[in-house]
Amino acid sequence: MAPTAILERTTATAVDSIAELKAKIANGHATHPNGAPKSALVRDGPERKPVADDYMYDFKYNAPLPTLERLGTDFAEDTDAVKIAEDFLVTLQAAFADPAKFTSLFIEDGVWRDKIVFAWEYRTFNGTAKIGEAAKDLLANTPVANLKLLSPTPKVDRPYDDLASIQIHFSFDTDKVGASGVANVVKTTEGIKIWTLHTVIESLLDFPELPNRDGHMIAPVSWATQREQDTDFEGRQPDVVIVGGGHNGLMMAARFKALGVSAIIIERNERIGDNWRKRYESLSLHFPHWEDHFPYMPYPEHWPVYTPAGKLGEWLDWYASAMELYAWTSSSVTSCKQEDDGSWRVEVNRGGHGQRVLTPKHLVMATSLAGVPMSPYIPGQEEFKGTLRHSTTHDSSREWVGKKVLVVGTSSSGFDTAYDFARRGVDVTMLQRSPTYIMSLTHSVPRIIGIYEPDKNGKRPDLDECDRMAYSMPVGPSEELGRRLAEDLEVLDHDLLAAMEARGFQTWRGQRGTGTQTLGYSKNGGFYFDAGACERIINGDIKVEQGWIEKFDGHKTILNGGREKEYDLVILATGFSNTIDSVRATLGDDVADRCNDIWGVDEEGELKSAWRDCGVPNLWIMVGTLQHGRYHSKRVSLRIKAMLEGIAGEKYVK
């Protein structure tokens, strides 16, 4: 396989310690007009942009931030933000009945993002022309009432010296749904205007979640026997089949159960949670668990900040049992066909329980954002005298003490794997094919997920409130803010990044200069949150080589440029293909060929196919992080419930 890029190796500085590396860094930074310090790092050359700006990113409506200079005014020091919020809701209530007035509330490049309240789809309308068109089409058919302020208490936010806004959280009802909204408003010379508005489905008014059942054991069989019988689905059919029993599948099943929708999970592993139990033993989640709580069942107090993968696997199993979810393990889909009426015929091999045919109305794919492991063919690999494996089949460094190891790839899995070898004193080298975005946990965590952090007494914040904040900003403004955040982090992480560069490791500021933000939307990788491996590189415990493997020759690994090395173990931390490959392998060519692209940002700023229409009626793609699972499972389950009950509005397609 040809290399994706040809990189010149960075010349490493010969130093003895981190202190000496840091001593080479110049003190002081220039300052931006927005008040933030400028980065002092200089990383020139076209090779420092390994991912094109438009790779899996079709967004077309970039607009500058509404800075004080652009707006021509600012909030006064004694601004009563609560009074502004209350007056705003009165104005917005009236404007929901008048498309022209509604549109006039926005600044010219304002954004309205809707999730299944008005458009019955995930849609973003960028700029007043698009907002006006959508408002004219949608508002007349969707009466709005009962606008009420929600927490947190509105205040003037000033993330930068040149930017000021008030964030207003509120609830409201339409004729069918209960909803929430978040408006970010700014002060203009014409008064208070909307910068961004996010409207989101929260409930179905006529179909609320079921109340808790009584629980007294008056049935003719035991609880355990009844659970087995319910799980068998003998003589009945589920409304929904969920393929995949990871966190997304379980969260969807829990949401469905609360709504009275029958669902069965098809999981190929022997036990729920094996998708985490069977990963490399040193794995812990890369971010704190604060944002990762499951629907209806948050982690208990004193949960470790960074969840070990094995523990998460056990939690998934506990969750399925506690929520009484129905799952067929050691099972797989053997054939899948969509009927003319949009329903499905799914044949399932239940392992030791024979073959079953299910006929659900909806099908959910929850087999992970990753497709299948990507292992590039390397000439001579059949005759390689060492061991060659993909990172998905590697579990521990224990048996390799005293050996030499090469890890190919410098995203999260590559770093984790190399770190595991280094901590046991194994001679390990990372082979870097292209620059990697690096950020420290110290500085990134409080800025990216700090709103979810418990207070000093351990009290957790309200998850719904945090989720409204975390998901309120549309892609366009998020990109502009993300670009500023990436440079802020680069300034704060200057010592770390400069020390990594001095050891020959290449870094960059991420796709479109937004750090992890755009990379997460496109590659879903190419970055590393430093959990300890960077210090091992800086100390020399993990060596770095640039380039790629040209071929194997017996015991030798030949890197580009004819560099001959010898390694006992070569691990390919080379990632995964797209989700569509998993869809194809599971549901067949007919379904996969009708799917739209999965993941990546569309022209208006929504992720393609995830949690929304994917091009195949009644097929839903549930992918993403634990936080994504909790948040989007609510929206998707409500939409499916509305469709099953015949009350869903028509999907807006203009």
Environment class of 302 (CB within 10 Å of its CB; exposed 0-12, middle 13-18, buried 19+)? exposed
Please state the rounded mean pLDDT for residues 469-479: 96
Residues near 118 by Cβ (< 8 Å), separated by ≥ 6? 134, 138, 139, 142, 174, 199, 652
Cα(538)–Cα(394) distance, integer angstroms: 25
φ, ψ of residue 402 to 5 degrees: the values are 85, 0
Q: What is the pLDDT of residue 46?
A: 66
Residues near 507 by Cβ (< 8 Å), separated by ≥ 6? 43, 435, 436, 437, 438, 497, 500, 501
CA-closest candidate to residue 436, choices 18, 1, 5 = 5
Whether the CB-CB separation of 604 and 124 falls below 8 Å is answered with yes
Q: What is the pLDDT of residue 47?
A: 67
Residue type, 314: E
Could you tell me the pLDDT band of residue 161, with boundaries at 50, 70 and 90?
Answer: very high
Q: Hey, how many other C-beta atoms are within 10 angstroms of the C-beta on 111? A: 29
The larger pLDDT score, comparing residue 30 to residue 652, is at: 652
Q: Hey, how many other C-beta atoms are within 10 angstroms of the C-beta on 156? A: 17
pTM score of the predicted model = 0.93
pLDDT, one tens digit per residue, over 223-264 is 999 999 999 999 999 999 999 999 999 999 999 999 999 999
Q: Which residue has the tokens 């796709």?
A: 511
Distance of CA 498 to the CA centre of its chain: 28
DSSP class of 450? G
Helix (H, G, I), strand (E, B) or coil at 100: helix
Question: Residue 82: left if φ>0, alpha if ψ -120 to 50, beta else—which one?
Answer: alpha
Q: Measured at the alpha carbon of residue 100, what is the angle toward residues 95 and 106, in degrees to the nearest 5?
A: 75
φ, ψ of residue 177 to 5 degrees: the values are -125, 155
Q: Is the pLDDT of residue 64 over 80?
A: yes
Q: What is the pLDDT of residue 381?
A: 96
Q: Is the pLDDT of residue 138 over 70?
A: yes
Q: Is the pLDDT of residue 12 over 80?
A: no
Mean pLDDT of the chain, nearest integer? 93
Helix (H, G, I), strand (E, B) or coil at 204: strand
Residue type, 281: E
Whether the CB-CB separation of 414 and 407 falls below 8 Å is answered with yes
* Residue 204 bridge partners (DSSP): 177
Q: What is the pLDDT of residue 370?
A: 79
The larger pLDDT score, comparing residue 556 to residue 372, is at: 556
pLDDT, one tens digit per residue, over 139-155 is 999 999 999 999 999 99
Q: What is the pLDDT of residue 594?
A: 98
Cα(495)–Cα(505) distance, integer angstroms: 14
pLDDT, one tens digit per residue, over 591-621 is 999 999 999 999 999 999 999 999 999 999 9
DSSP 516-540: HHHHHHTTS-SEEEESSHHHHHHTT
Tell me the domains of the chain and their CATH numbers: 18-49+373-572 (3.50.50.60), 72-204 (3.10.450.50), 223-371+577-645 (3.50.50.60)
Q: What is the pLDDT of residue 372?
A: 84
Q: What is the pLDDT of residue 44?
A: 61
Cα(69)–Cα(539) distance, integer angstroms: 46
- Which pairs with CB-CB distance under 8 Å and at least 24 residues apart come from 37-40? 37/488, 37/491, 38/487, 38/491, 39/487, 39/490, 39/491, 39/494, 40/491, 40/494
Q: What is the pLDDT of residue 434?
A: 94
Q: Which residue has the tokens 């952090």?
A: 453
Please state the rounded mean pLDDT for residues 293-314: 97
Q: What is the pLDDT of residue 2?
A: 26
Residue type, 84: I
The larger pLDDT score, comparing residue 332 to residue 577, is at: 332
Residues near 477 by Cβ (< 8 Å), separated by ≥ 6? 63, 65, 111, 195, 196
Q: Is the pLDDT of residue 194 over 90?
A: yes
Helix (H, G, I), strand (E, B) or coil at 14: coil
Whole-number percent of the chain with pLDDT over 70: 95
Q: Is the pLDDT of residue 1 over 70?
A: no
pLDDT, one tens digit per residue, over 14-51 is 333 444 443 443 344 577 777 778 777 877 666 688 99
Q: What is the pLDDT of residue 3?
A: 26
Q: How many CA atoms within 13 Å lie on the side-chain side of 479?
A: 21
